[in-house]
Amino acid sequence: MTKVVCPGSFDPVTNGHLDIIERASRLFDEVVVAVLVNESKKGLFTIDERLELLDRATSDLPNVSTASFNGLLVDFCTDNGISAIVKGLRAVTDFDYELQMAQMNGSLTEVDTLFIPTTPEYSFLASSLVKEVAKHGGDVSRLVPDFVLTDLKAKYA
């Protein structure tokens, strides 16, 4: 049985994340979507809020679960019997950083990293941009699930 992790901040989850999570869920037996707890970086959504939105967004995918972690991702993998990290690649700008991370994680443990190329319609999409546009009243309705849109509007009301 192959269990993988899709790690990230998910502040909040976007359709770009969901594209990668759905595709990973078709390829692997079990997918854990893991929210990184970063004490030094306060997000717009709390960790519990992010997990709630992710649970809702993945409720139709029975082999997907959610969790949060702090510390090293490879330790989370070892503790949870996870054999690979799955990451989305948007553009060449993601590549340098992701390759470095993948090689560092690979040097720390046996955990491998697999990349899934983004669907072109989401290649410009990042949570930070969604927040910036939503904050100024721009239309992000095609970029996030409905309930995320509602919560974003509430945050900036």
For binding to ligand ADP (CB under 6 A), which residues are involved?
8-10, 14, 16-17, 20, 87-88, 90, 94, 118, 122, 125-128
90 belongs to the catalytic site? yes
SS3 79: helix
Query: Could you tell me the smallest distance in angstroms from the CB atom of residue 2 to ligand ADP?
Result: 18
Strand partners, 116: 88
155 belongs to the catalytic site? no
Nearer CB in complex with ligand ADP: 30/125: 125
Cβ density class 31-54: b for 16+ within 10 Å, e for less: bbbbbbeeeeeebbbebeebbbbb
Q: 54, 10 in Cβ contact below 8 A?
A: yes
Catalytic hit among 17, 23, 50, 131: 17
127 belongs to the catalytic site? yes
Nearer CB in complex with ligand ADP: 10/30: 10
Active site residues: 17, 41, 90, 127
